[in-house]
């Protein structure tokens, strides 16, 4: 049986949306139209991890982001990501990251230290509300958000550029927390008609901090460094753990939207 990453994105989205609870074999089968056993095999072949392992990783990665992005209490975070008591959460977190949730919150500057050091670029930003936008997406695993893999995805899409007016990049993971090999990127386009081979979903819908990268995408990490440097030194807002969106407005202009904690 043949499949690919984009074909199973519907069930991946379902797992992501419900990572904080047990997902049944019946749910998997009704959404994927595969037997649960076959889907497990396909999922492992693509992600190199089991469905339950993927779900556990999402729980812990989202909890880590909440620890460093927000001021929520640790017990509240544990409950939000699907742990019913703080003891089991703390044990799982320490097994994954070799530090406790309390230590992770205290050491959040260490998470970004190597990434942001020696960067002095000024950053201008604005806070704005973005209405939901319906887009068609194609997702890949992009190790550490490797530009070559992302460029190859857009080159695959380019022949269809008459179909869309605006293009977006969906940054699903935080590479300073998520293992490089598990980082996922989505190329998203707008279209009035269905686009074959693309998965439909909504993006945006809330308040964001927006900043802009000017120049080649090869240098976009410098702009991210500037943002994290500013955010860590002057907390004027709390961040959310949902997706970061890149909006490709024109040649060498990329608007970057970080979701704000409500």
DSSP character string of 95-131? HHHSS-HHHHHHTHHHHHHHHHTT------EEEEEE-
Establish if 83 belongs to a structural domain. Answer: yes
Q: If you average pLDDT over residues 143-152, what whole number do you get?
A: 82
Give dist(CA 56, CA 169) in Å, integer: 25
Q: If you average pLDDT over residues 8-24, what whole number do you get?
A: 86
Number of domains in the chain: 2
**DSSP letter assigned to residue 239:** B
Residue 151 pLDDT grade (very low, low, confident, very high; cuts 50, 70, 90) = confident
Q: Taking all residues of the chain, what is their mean pLDDT, rounded to a whole number?
A: 86
Q: Quick one: 220 and 145 in the same domain? A: yes
Residue 1 pLDDT grade (very low, low, confident, very high; cuts 50, 70, 90) = very low
Residue 233 pLDDT grade (very low, low, confident, very high; cuts 50, 70, 90) = confident
- CATH number of the domain bearing residue 17: 1.10.10.60
Establish if 173 belongs to a structural domain. Answer: yes
Q: Quick one: 74 and 171 in the same domain? A: no
Would you state the pLDDT for residue 199?
85
Establish if 99 belongs to a structural domain. Answer: yes
Q: Quick one: 254 and 142 in the same domain? A: yes
Q: Is the pLDDT of residue 163 over 70?
A: no
Q: Quick one: 138 and 49 in the same domain? A: no
- CATH number of the domain bearing residue 217: 3.20.80.10
Q: Quick one: 97 and 143 in the same domain? A: no
Q: Quick one: 150 and 231 in the same domain? A: yes
Query: Is the model more confident about 7 or about 256?
Result: 256
Q: Is the pLDDT of residue 127 over 60?
A: yes
Q: What is the pLDDT of residues 107-123, one digit of tens each?
A: 988 888 888 876 555 67
Establish if 118 belongs to a structural domain. Answer: no
Classify the C-alpha dihedral 188-224-66-19 as positive or negative.
Answer: positive
Residue 97 pLDDT grade (very low, low, confident, very high; cuts 50, 70, 90) = very high
Establish if 187 belongs to a structural domain. Answer: yes
Q: Quick one: 99 and 17 in the same domain? A: yes
Q: Quick one: 254 and 201 in the same domain? A: yes
Q: What value, to the nearest 5°, has the Cα angle with vertex 167 and ends 202 and 153?
A: 100
Q: Which of 134, 135, 168 is nearest to 150 (CA)?
A: 168
Q: Quick one: 131 and 96 in the same domain? A: no
For the chain, percent of residues with pLDDT exceeding 70: 92
Q: Quick one: 235 and 133 in the same domain? A: yes
Q: Quick one: 98 and 171 in the same domain? A: no
Of the residues 76, 106, 136, the one at which a domain ends: 106
**DSSP letter assigned to residue 237:** S
Q: What is the pLDDT of residues 50-83, one digit of tens each?
A: 988 999 999 999 999 999 999 999 999 999 999 9
First-to-final CA distance of the chain: 44
Establish if 111 belongs to a structural domain. Answer: no
Structural domain boundaries, residue 50: 6-106
Q: Quick one: 176 and 216 in the same domain? A: yes
Establish if 120 belongs to a structural domain. Answer: no
Residue 164 pLDDT grade (very low, low, confident, very high; cuts 50, 70, 90) = low
Residue 209 pLDDT grade (very low, low, confident, very high; cuts 50, 70, 90) = very high
Give dist(CA 139, CA 7) in Å, integer: 10
């Amino acid at each position: 049986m043949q499949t690919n990453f984009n074909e199973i994105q519907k069930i991946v989205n379902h797992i992501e949306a419900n990572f904080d609870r047990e997902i049944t074999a019946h749910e998997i089968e009704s959404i994927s139209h595969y037997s649960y056993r076959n889907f497990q095999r396909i999922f492992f072949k693509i992600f190199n991890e089991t469905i339950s392992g993927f779900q556990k990783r999402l729980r812990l990665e989202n909890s880590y982001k909440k620890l460093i992005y927000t001021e929520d209490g640790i017990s509240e975070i544990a409950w939000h990501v699907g742990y019913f008591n703080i003891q089991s959460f703390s044990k799982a977190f320490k097994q994954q990251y070799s530090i406790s949730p309390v230590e992770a919150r205290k050491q959040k500057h260490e998470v970004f230290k190597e990434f942001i050091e020696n960067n002095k670029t000024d950053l201008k930003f604005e806070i704005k509300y973005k209405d939901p936008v319906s887009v068609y997406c194609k997702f890949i695993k992009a190790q550490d958000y490797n530009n070559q893999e992302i460029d190859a995805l857009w080159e695959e899409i380019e022949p269809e550029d008459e179909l869309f007016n605006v293009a977006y990049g969906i940054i699903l993971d935080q590479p300073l927390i998520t293992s490089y090999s598990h980082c996922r990127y989505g190329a998203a386009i707008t279209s009035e008609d269905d686009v074959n081979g693309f998965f439909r979903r909504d993006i945006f819908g809330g308040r964001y901090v927006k900043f802009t990268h000017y120049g080649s995408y090869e240098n976009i990490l410098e702009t991210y460094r500037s943002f994290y440097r500013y955010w860590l030194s002057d907390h004027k807002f709390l961040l959310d753990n949902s997706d970061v969106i890149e909006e490709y407005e024109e040649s060498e202009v990329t608007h970057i939207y970080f979701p704000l904690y409500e």
